[in-house]
Amino acid sequence: MPSLRGIYDFPGPVAEAATKLKNRGFSDLEIYAPCAFPELDSVLDEKPSGVRAWTLIGGLIGVVTGFSVAIWMALDWPIVVGGKPFASIPPYVVIGFELTILFGGLATLVGLLVVGGLPYGTFGQTDKAYSTRFSADEIGLVVSCAERDVAEVDALLRATAAKEVDLVEA
Amino acid sequence: MTPPPAMSVADTMRPPPEPPDSKINEDLLRIMYHRISPGYLLLLGATILSVVAAGGTWVYQVYIGLGIAGYTHPVFWGAYLITFVFWVGIAHAGTLISAILYLFRAKWRNAINRGAEAMTVFAVLTAAQFLGIHVGRMWKSYFILPYPNQRGLWTNFKSPLEWDTFAISTYATIAIVFLFIGLIPDFAVARDRAKGIRKLAYTALSLGWQGTSRQWKSHTRSVLHLSGLATPLVLSVHSVISWDFAMSLVPGWHATIFAPYFVAGAIFSGFSMVLTFFIPLRRIYGLEEYITDYHFDNIARFILLTGWIVTYGYASEYFVAWYSTVEPEQTSFWLRAFGPYWFSTWVMLTCNCIVPQIFWFKWARTTPWILFTVATLVNIGMWFERYVIIITGLSREYEPAVWGIYTPTWAELTLFAGSFGFFAMLFLLSIKVLPIIAITEVKELAIHEKAHGGAH
């Protein structure tokens, strides 16, 4: 299946092109961008990012771990201080809080790797459609389509301000 | 004549030639590839020398004991703890710029956040060493971690020093994660342009990043979530450190103002250190286009604001001491200003309360040498602030019979100087291996500006 690659200068036209292509039934799309553009954020995937679940679960595990570790250890090695309870909650809030952040942060990193598909491929491998132009200041929109649709896609990309359109070698 | 065969649309399309690289990539990667000048080598050599001197002193201290540090009754927290608190404070600006300003969508942070994040990591690493140096028997430091052992003995989670362990290690970890996540796309930029061993290193570090929509979406969400987590963290870390003092009953320490006052002081000194490093960096590498007077102006405003919060903290301490009618508390504060440590108190007040007032004037906020001077003085003042709190508190407790005088010794001063050397050494090395200005974030602003005809 051939893939066409449109090269753009600005994110607005990319979002427009991708939306039109999706509406016409082309679902195999990919955007390569040099930086994060809010315009492109949800064009290809409207669902919220799965990273948030990783952060939430990590944070929850952290808070439970923080409190339970502190309480369990206080009960396992009781320090007798004038009738005060062995496990007192207020000082453990600090431990619970810190571990919430720690576990939440580490889970976010893992979430980025899992959801973002990183590390990608084998060492040093990139997609055929990827170009170092996309780590400069240009944006690439890659569409896979049937042979018979090439002309239509080409026209659509050019009509949405793609400054260059080329065929990605399979 | 036979006409040529009909060409399909695909046949007419050929891969376009690679255009020249973007100006932003060239400008910002140039810092890493900039010729290593004699000045750079001299500076690096000096920092390494101070680290070696500090290392040697530390080895000697391990051999002789903490006595060479001037720790003597009643002052057993001295320059090492002061320096520890100082460096943790320095670490705060990075997370503030990265996390809090990110949440507030303050785009002016983009050119300075990476350097500040790196400074955070280096400052925490510097600070953490002083915990070990301070306890003397550094090799026993792991006792403070809750680990299973044959005696069934656990750490005391009710102790603020234990909270410190968790706060600092969490802060260090999150700061490293934050820095690394931000660096991944920039490592990919460097990878695409590097050759040889650098190519290999950046290929590994960029994790195969290509900037696909899925990757960017995950990346922005990760930065957002980390910012949400790091914002309360940055406020909590110095609060926890302030509780090392405030949870005790030492006159001058046992105050509820300590947490906000420490946090403000940390941001105050952190921003000053950012200026201390960014002003020469901008000048040497010609980065005026990226680190503009607008950045310095905003940082100076932060310094002015936090300077006033710190001043309010000082004033409220004196007011509460007077209002409390508690004699040891009042004596402690009287001695701060007019006792044996008067010099440190007045240095602190001058540098932290009076000097930053020059930032009421815009010309001062945009003149590099004034900014650099004020930032340096603020850092001196903030080190003395911790000196005043720790030393005057401990040396004059409740009973005059146990009063004593503390003076930092050569060993403490060498290790203190070594900490600056260590921090500066890491910074100097980092500008040669890390994109010290966030390339992709600067680019985002630039492309938007271009798209909207410079309307941003």
Output the pLDDT for position B12.
55
Task: Output the pLDDT for position A86.
Answer: 85
CA distance B29 to B195: 13
The pLDDT tens digits of the residues spanning A114-155 come to 999 989 888 878 888 898 899 988 999 999 888 888 888 888
Q: d(Cα B66, Cα B53) in Å, to the nearest integer?
A: 17
**CB crowding A37-52: b at 16 or more within 10 Å, else e:** bebbbebbeeeebebb
Read off the pLDDT of residues B344-366 as tens digits, 9 standing for 90 and up.
Answer: 999 999 999 999 999 999 999 99
Percent of chain B at pLDDT > 70 equals: 95
B341 contacts chain A (CB < 8 A): no
B198 touches chain A (CB under 8 A): no
A45–B236 CB contact, under 8 Å: no
Interface touch B193/A111, C-beta < 8 Å: no
pLDDT at A26 over 50: yes
The pLDDT of residue B56 is above 70: yes
Give contacts of B156 with chain A, Cβ < 8 Å. 79
Q: In sequence order, what are the residues at sequence separation of 6 or more whose Cβ sits closer than 8 angstroms to the Cβ of residue B451?
A: A9, A10, A11, A12
User: CA–CA separation, B453 vs A79, rounded Å?
Assistant: 68
**Which of B170, B215, B236 is facing A118, going by the closest CB pair?**
B215
DSSP string for residues in B189-214? HHHHH--HHHHHHHHHHTTT---BHH
Candidates B35, B31, B36; CA nearest to B114 is B31
pTM of the complete model = 0.92
Query: CA-based angle A121:A125:A127, to the nearest 5?
Result: 85
Give me A42's structure tokens. Answer: 């949800």
B-chain CB neighbours of A169 within 8 Å are 15
Query: A139-144 and A164-168: which strand pairing?
Result: unpaired
Inter-chain contacts counted by CB atoms under 8 A, chains A and B: 228
What's the pLDDT tens digit per position in B409-453? Answer: 999 999 999 999 999 999 999 999 999 999 998 888 888 777 776
**What is the reported pLDDT for B230?**
92
Structure tokens at A92: 């453990």
In three-state secondary structure terms, A127 is coil
pLDDT in tens, B199-242: 999 999 999 999 999 999 999 999 999 999 999 999 999 999 99
Nearest chain A residue to B15 by CA distance is A166
Neighbours of B448 (CB within 10 A): 20
pLDDT of the residue at B13: 59
* Chain A contacts in chain B segment 145-184 (CB below 8 A): 146, 152-158, 162-163, 166-167, 169-170, 173-174, 177-178, 180-181, 184
Chain B residues inside the 8 Å CB shell of A8: none
Find chain A residues with C-beta within 8 A of B178's C-beta: 105
The helix/strand/coil state of A144 is strand
B238, B383, B286: which is closest to B30 by C-alpha?
B286
Residue closest to B321 by CA, chosen among B265, B386, B254, B387:
B254
Contact state of B444 with A35 under an 8 Å Cβ cutoff: yes
Tell me the C-alpha distance between B218 and B181, whole Å.
11
In the predicted structure, residue B17 carries a pLDDT above the cut 80: no
Taking contacts as CB-CB distances below 8 angstroms, the residues of chain B near A152 are none
Chain A contact for B219 (CB, 8 A cutoff): yes
ipTM score here? 0.94
| CA B177, B178, B184, B187 torsion-angle sign | negative
Contact A116 B219 (CB under 8 A): yes
